[in-house]
Structure 1
Amino acid sequence: MTRFRHFLAIDWSGAAGERHRGIALALADAEGGPPVLVDSGRGWSRTEVLALLRDDLPPDTLVGLDLGISLPFADCGAFFPGLGESPPDALALWALIDRLYEADPHLSAGGFVDHPAFAPYFRRHGGREGARFRCDGADHGRGRFRVTETAQAAMGCQPYSNFNLVGAAQVGKSSLTGMRMLHRLRGSLPVWPVDPLPRAGSVVVEIYTSLAALEAGRAPGRSKMRDRSELGEALATLGSPAPAGAGPIDDHASDALLAAAWLRKVAGDAERWTPPGLTPEIARTEGWTFGAL
């Protein structure tokens, strides 16, 4: 059993501009039934999602955000090793990113990775790999990993570093914009495990939709679903009915629908909230991906 009454999965986007086809929201009810898409009527903006989470969230909702809530820290003892004022924890990291680009519209964070103090830590377009991207020689070619991303890889996922901003699989841009939103949610909505899991009320967790797809029977490399029949099969594996309809579906929508049903299925599993690699120090600095064991 779980104390949550609603499960909201958000497929996020770090793309430039105001409104994004890549943002999709899906809601599942603890009482059952198919997950449903939450339609803004004109495509979601990041600021609208922020307003929903802060002001209009259904009570006792477990919110899953498909982005990285922090950057690697444990591997080098700092987010930005060698930088004199590297933030000491995730909360300070969120505040730094939001403060530096407070005037940038739409919760964008593109300027952060071009800042001369931080650019050396990122892999950017045009083959611009910063001198500190690999942090003393990460050899898998995907950059620095958080502890939770190493756990994801061990489960069969194919994570990429949040310092990587290149390629279709990159999550760096969405993570940085998401951190701006998380900073602005302070005092309104706790974020596990940076914040302790509250006994009641709503909470945000980081999710990885590929992990939900794996647990729904999808093979690694085939997590994206663009047909409602495929989505229906995956939902059935999770014990969830499928939304009505047939034919093509946007993969952002299918990711959100599947993740909402997955959250409903696994939220009551105590092991998900106490993964072996999650220490107080990791919670404070790197955070964790809900469901990564």
Structure 2
Amino acid sequence: MVILHIKRGDESNFLLETKVTTTVDDVVTRTALIHNGRLKVWRICSEIDLLAEYGPSSPPDMHGLTPDQIVELKLTDEWADKCEASGGYTENSDPCGRRNGRQPLLNMQEVLKKTIAEAKAMIHKELVKCNTILTEQHIIDAMDILRGAVTIVYPMGLPPHDPIREELENREDLTGTADSKQVLEPAMTQLWFAGKELQCGEKLSKYLGNNEKTKVIVKVQRRGAGAPGREPVLTEDQRKEIMLKEFRRREEIKKLDEVDDDSHHSSAWADNHQLQRQFQGLNNIKWKPH
């Protein structure tokens, strides 16, 4: 099996395992699927973190309004009592005005936060350093444990307009958000290796050879954005190591210069011609200006 180190720009994303006989089209599709799945898990984790702090989302027409404005406009949250956390809640108003302020109890918060940490660990980019392969199943497992934690804390479910429920039901709308720029569409995605675009319709063996025991860096790029930057000759760790060795070498040279002090060369006893001048009576000659 060949291992592809998927990077976007200079940032490592994940390791993908495939075969050299696989077509580029299939690799692009899997890359986009796993990449988008990771983004979805991160978005859900961020929203669940807010859920643990400020409770479920308020109806869209109440977002950003103060309590006085809500009363003045005679708006009500019909889902607040229907979607209450298990065991009750405490009041903790959302400064952004997006959530209803009904914070779950401490033990329920711990369930959510512990699950967030577990889900992030399953799809974190640090897995690349551990040579851990990421698959579609990792995304599914992360989604399942997040869904399970939300169900435990909110057995009656979340409001249909809550971003967490929309994500879990694949109804999210990212239009106009920063996250939408990160999502990959297979039709608009290119893969690059060694400064060359992997052409759709071709097999990986055309670019990587027939050796299955290969690990290469493949960069993801939006179609039409041009070639991505090449990988640096040295990694950041290698560069730091070289700079450290150079610093140590210069410090050693400084110490040697201090030990090899040649100021004694100007002393009288080190003068090779002193004895000759003594025989010629030239040692004590002093010049006097006219």
| Same-fold call, TM cutoff 0.5 | no
Tell me which interval the TM-score lies in, with the shorter structure as reference length.
under 0.3
Larger radius of gyration: 2
- Could you tell me the TM-score, scaled by structure 2's length? 0.26
